[in-house]
Amino acid sequence: MTRPGPAPLIEQIVAHHRAGRRREALDACRHLLLVERRADVMALAGKLAMELGQVAAAAEHYAAAVACEPDFAEAQYNLGNALMTLGRSEEAVSAYRRATALRRDLLPAHANLGNALYALGRYDEAVVSHRQAVRLAPDAAQAHRNLGIALHEAGDLDGSIACHRRAVALKPDWPQAWQSLANGVMERGDWRAAVEACDAWLRLVPANVEALGLKAVALAELGDGAGARRLVDFERFVQVLEFAAPPDGFADIAAFNAALARHALEHPTLHLPPAADPRYHCASLRITEEFLAEPKGPAAAFERMIEAAVDGYIRGFAQRDPAHPFLVDPPRRWRLTSWAAVLDGQGNLNPHVHYAGYVSGVYYPRIPQPIGAPGEGQAGWFEFGGGPERFPCTTVPPTRTIQPRDGMMLLFPSYFYHRTVPFRAAEPRVSIAFDAVPIA
């Protein structure tokens, strides 16, 4: 059986590609490559494979293209993209460097080279690449924001803030640019500029969790205690539930808590996050991936508990309150995500918010002694208020501490900064956190 010649195959590729039939177009590319080695067809095969999610195959096609035609800058660039997606950052850097050497005006290659270097922790080199991207596209807000992020990690906070200011000037309707500026001026301690940035951010994304949390900290630092307390009204928005009756299928609440704690401690995904992970707090903290994933075991009953509690919490604020950003548009639909946290022997969870949620919460199936014992003070308690240590705060913020007990659930807005007060204990402290994530 004879294979079709190049011309009919090229016609097939063009027809399939124009019709959006990626898989058929990719097959036609591969048939043509058996007949004729062409770098442009190899690159097109790489593009189609990427669009089909076949990233390893895409990398092979792009590598073949640059082997066939070493000065093919766009293929070198796309090879870098495929390698980055595969987590092969060092190799991606080499591909991007080759692309920028071949085409000094290839803006995406400079930008992605900077991103790859940043991912490797090579911040000074990332700055160089992003500066070149800014020179090539001085009116591109993304280029200025990328440079600002790299400058921040390279230790140039003032330069970073200047880049973010330029980004918001170029694209004032871009929430991520305001996010970067707000965080930068918060680290500088420019509280008034932080409030202004957060307000601009909130006009674009009402009730944004991070913006509300930052604004509350900045207001407290400006001396506007009333404004800060209005946003983080502990009495109004923190709900404490204590469960005395067990879910169906358990003899008592102690048996349920024991099963839930055992499920957390034996969870196959329980791990210590790497220090670079935003979920990392200290070396004694292990967390799970999705706690409500199958096989659920006692987490199935726990999920029903959370659903009922969150539903009741949101229904309690059923009337919209346009004067308060948390209540202006409560979600009509939401989904749960949950993870267990195990602190072994001692712990210190730094102040943080839950960026994805609307309502967040925590349940305690096992609180070890001596937490709550006489003479221990508030060690191991749950504390609302404060802010990240990277901000140069000097004002004592409004706080509320709650002593956790077995069978207790706390519900609160996801933008409330919270932490665990440092403690020491002879056995693990198990808690299960969760978020109600709005569904558009």
Does residue 389 belong to any structural domain of this protein?
A: yes
Question: Which token pair is 114?
Answer: 């900077």
- What does the alpha-carbon distance between residue 401 and residue 78 come to, in Å, rounded to a whole number? 52
Please, how many CA atoms are within 13 Å of residue 62, restricted to the half-sphere of its CB? Answer: 26
Domain-terminating residue out of 204, 226, 248: 226
pLDDT computed for residue 151 by the predictor: 98
Q: Which pLDDT value is given to residue 350?
A: 81
CATH number at residue 177: 1.25.40.10
Q: Does the residue 1 lie in any domain? A: no
In this structure, are 155 and 121 located in the same domain?
A: yes
164 and 295 in a common domain: no
Whether residues 160 and 208 share a domain: the answer is yes
Given a cut of 70, whether residue 4 has pLDDT beyond it is no
Determine the pLDDT at residue 6.
66
Confidence at residue 328, expressed as pLDDT on a 0 to 100 scale: 86
What pLDDT does 93 receive?
98
pLDDT at position 201 over 70: yes
323 pLDDT above the threshold of 90: no
| Tens of pLDDT, residues 51-109 | 999 999 999 999 999 999 999 999 999 999 999 999 999 999 999 999 999 999 999 99
From first CA to last CA, the distance across the chain in angstroms is: 54
The per-residue pLDDT for 1 is 34
Single-letter code of the amino acid located at 239:
Q
| pLDDT greater than 70 at residue 428 | yes
List of residues 6+ apart from 418 with CB closer than 8 A:
351, 352, 353, 382, 383, 384, 385, 412
pLDDT (average), residues 127-154: 98
Q: What is the pTM of this model?
A: 0.88
Instruction: Answer for the pair 214, 194: CB distance below 8 angstroms, yes or no.
Output: yes
C-alpha distances in Å from residue 206, one per residue of 57, 278, 287, 310, 360: 42, 24, 30, 21, 18
**Percentage above 90 pLDDT, the chain:** 78
Please say if the pLDDT value at position 411 is more than 70: yes
**Do residues 99 and 80 lie in contact, with contact meaning Cβ atoms separated by under 8 Å?**
yes
Residues 414 and 294 in one domain: yes
Q: Are strands 429-438 and 334-343 parallel, antiparallel or unpaired?
A: antiparallel
On whether both 409 and 311 belong to a single domain, the answer is: yes
Contacts 24+ apart (CB under 8 A), 102-107: 102/71, 102/72, 102/73, 102/76, 103/73, 103/74, 105/136, 106/73, 106/74, 106/77, 107/133, 107/136, 107/137, 107/140, 107/143
pLDDT at residue 90, as a whole number = 97
**Domain-located, residue 56:** yes
Residue 3 has pLDDT above 90, yes or no: no
Count how many Cα atoms sit within 13 Å of the Cα of residue 265 in the half-sphere of its side chain: 14
Q: Is the pLDDT of residue 356 over 50?
A: yes
Q: How many CB atoms lie within 10 A of CB 87?
A: 10
Residue 432 and residue 354 share a domain: yes
Q: What is the number of other CB atoms lying within 10 angstroms of the CB of residue 218?
A: 28
State the average pLDDT over residues 123-133.
98
Q: Are residues 55 and 200 in the same domain?
A: yes
Residue 2 has what pLDDT? 39
Domain co-membership, 264 together with 201: no
329 domain residue, yes or no: yes
Tell me the torsion sign for CA atoms 23, 26, 32, 33. negative
For the cut 90, the answer to whether the pLDDT of residue 369 exceeds it is no
Calculate mean pLDDT across residues 199-226: 95
* Residue 144 belongs to domain spanning: 6-226
**Residues 85 and 161 occupy one common structural domain:** yes
Identify the weakest region by mean pLDDT among 113-122, 194-203, 218-227, 419-428.
419-428
**Residue 231, domain member (yes or no):** no
- Confidence (pLDDT) at 48: 95
- Domain limit, last residue, from 200, 226, 252: 226
- The DSSP code sequence of 222-281 is TT-HHHHHHHT-HHHH-EEEE--SPPTT-SSHHHHHHHHHHHHHT-TT-BPPPTTSTT--
Q: How far is CA 412 from the centre of its chain?
A: 20
Same domain, 255 and 128: no
Token code pair at residue 6: 């190049």
Report how far residue 220's alpha carbon sits from residue 210's, in angstroms, rounded to the nearest whole number.
Answer: 16
Domain count of the fold of the chain: 2
Distance (Å, whole) CA 32 – CA 276: 45
Answer with the one of 226, 248, 277 that is the final residue of a domain: 226
Alpha-carbon distance of 319 to 79, in angstroms, equals 53
Look at residue 198 and tell me whether its pLDDT is greater than 90. Answer: yes
DSSP 350: E
Between CA 107 and CA 134 the distance in angstroms is 9
> 242 near 349, Cβ under 8 Å?
no
- Averaged pLDDT for residues 212-223: 95
On whether both 221 and 259 belong to a single domain, the answer is: no
- As a whole number of angstroms, the distance between CA 41 and CA 13 comes to 9
Geometric angle at alpha carbon 71, from 67 and 74, rounded to 5°: 90
Look over the chain and give the mean of its residue pLDDT values, rounded to a whole number: 93
CA-based max dimension of the chain: 88
